[in-house]
Structures are given as structure tokens and as C-alpha cells.
Structure 1
């Protein structure tokens, strides 16, 4: 197995890919081949940045020194349990479930904090998600986040069927 890139190299790969993608999207929009609203562009960019710098697949190594954990500052300690739950390059490095585990982990932390705030200060106003949630705004969030994750996995040499092959072999009795 070839060596995997460092966190810094992963970040540089994602920044370079974003630059090319943004230039291509801008060109396509100017040629009227693609319609991108400012809100969609912002959602994609924020999710891509969060996936690159805050929610890297390498958070499964959160007991150690991981760039993504350091980017959280003192809150990086919140990722230590995640690192204990997932073995490095296991499910957390799968193409669909891995990124989803990190989103669910963040949702759990937010829910716990909101619950604590409600317990301590029941009348404190908390932000809410506007209803209904528009798919045209959620899709760029998911696309930006998942694309940043997939670029990391590609750089690590992780195939899209990672984790599935092992399960398939178990089912077939190999």
C-alpha cells in the first residue's frame, strides 16, 4: 500500500480541486450552461470547507494529532470519543457511511448542547431550522460536503466499495 498524504497535503488537494471547480462553475454560469444562485454557491463552499478542514475522515484518529481536530481548537476534544468508536480507515473511511457518521456525530453534539441549554435556561431562545427545508439549498450543502470527503478518500487510495468487499466476502464464506 502506498503512503497516504499528510493532513496538509489533503487540504492542499482539496483547495486546488475547489479552485478548479469554482472556475469551471463560474465559466459555465457565465456561458448560461448552469444556473447557480449566490445562496447555493455559499452553501456548497461552506460545506466543502467544513468537510475539508473540520470534518475530515481522519477524525477517526482523534486521540492523536489530527489537523481537523486542531482546527476545532479546544472543542477538538469532542472528537476523541469519535476516534475511539471508529478504527482508522474502517467505516469512517467509507464513501457514504463515513461522512454520514461525522454529520450524525455533530448532530448528536448539537442536540446535547441544545438539551443542556433547555435544561439550564428553559426560556432561552434557540435557533430553529426553517420549514420546509428547500432541496435546492440542501443539495449544495450535501454535494460540497461529500465531494470534500471523497477527494480525501481518493487521495488515500480508498475505493468506493471500501468496507463492502469485506462484508461481501464474509457473506460468501471466504
Structure 2
């Protein structure tokens, strides 16, 4: 089993290789900068902050420590998912972490709003959200999933191609 450092080294090596290939073929590939930045950013987040090993968050794992004092937010995730269980699957595993983080964000946002109203304060900034273009969203998703898949490959967990073929029939 690779350590957290080995997982990170593998992911960074693959990213460096991909960056080299991109640099050599940048005119041919012509990937717009926002898409490249979205991919690399989400890839790095998936490598360092939101990793499959957060299912061990009740212990001291590197990705949890990187959250600083917010690392405790991942402990319930570790209680929900056994190590190398559902959290270490190819499609659902990464999605569980995103949904968990989104749920935690909603709860904390709601608590913050309740606190602001209880104290009689008014939000200083009015939140306005404009979604990014679809191609940037896909680059974010792809970057995150590729980082997760490299982790799983390093753990010796391969996609179950046979089950995919049987579902298509």
C-alpha cells in the first residue's frame, strides 16, 4: 500500500508528464487557459485535499492535516465509509466525497445564516452566483476524477470492466 507521500508523488509525476506533453503540443491541442487551469486546480485539490484516504480521517492522514483546524469535518466521513470500501470505487467513491463536502458546506452555511440573523446582523455582501461555462465544469470534474483514479490504480484497484460490459447488454 503506497503512503500518502507516494500517492502525491505519483500524481505530481503524472501531472508533470502531462504538462510536458501539453507544452510540446500546445498549438495542436489548443486547450483554452480557463479549461487548463480548472483541470489542474481540481487535480491538485483531488491530490492533496480531497483524497480517497479521507475514509481514514479519524486517524492522522495527510489530506486531513492539510485542512488544518477544519480537518475534524472529515471524521464523520471516515465513520460513514470503511477504508477501501465504497469510498475506493471508481465512480461513486469520488462522488461521495464531493456530496459529503457539499452537505457540510450547506449545513455550515445555514448555521452561519442563522447566527447572522440571530445576532441581528445583515450580510455585508450579497452573494451572486453565475455558473461557469459547461466546458470549465467538465474540466473541473475530469481533473478531480483523474487524480482519484490514479490513487486507486496505485492502491491496486482497477475498474471493473466486466461489470460495465454486462450492464450494456
Q: Distance in 2 between matches of 1:91 and 1:36?
A: 34
Residues 1-174 of structure 1: matches in 2 within 5 Å? 4-29=1-26, 32-122=27-117, 123-124=122-123, 125=125, 127-131=127-131, 133-161=132-160
TM-score, normalised by the number of residues in structure 1: 0.85
Q: Distance in 2 between matches of 1:121 and 1:28?
A: 51
- Seen in structure 2, the aligned counterparts of structure 1 residues 87 and 121 have a Cα distance that, compared at 3 Å, is same
- Seen in structure 2, the aligned counterparts of structure 1 residues 101 and 126 have a Cα distance that, compared at 3 Å, is farther
Spell out structure 1 runs of 4+ moving beyond 4 A. none
RMSD: 1.9
Deviation at 1:129, TM superposition (A): 3.1
Structure 2 regions of 5+ residues with no counterpart? none
Q: Distance in 2 between matches of 1:90 and 1:137?
A: 30
TM-score, normalised by the number of residues in structure 2: 0.87
Deviation at 1:126, TM superposition (A): 5.6
SS in 2 for 1:36: coil
- Seen in structure 2, the aligned counterparts of structure 1 residues 128 and 89 have a Cα distance that, compared at 3 Å, is farther
Structure 1 regions of 5+ residues with no counterpart? 169-174
Q: Distance in 2 between matches of 1:147 and 1:21?
A: 12
- Seen in structure 2, the aligned counterparts of structure 1 residues 34 and 76 have a Cα distance that, compared at 3 Å, is same
Deviation at 1:127, TM superposition (A): 3.9
Count how many residue pairs are aligned between Structure 1 and Structure 2: 159
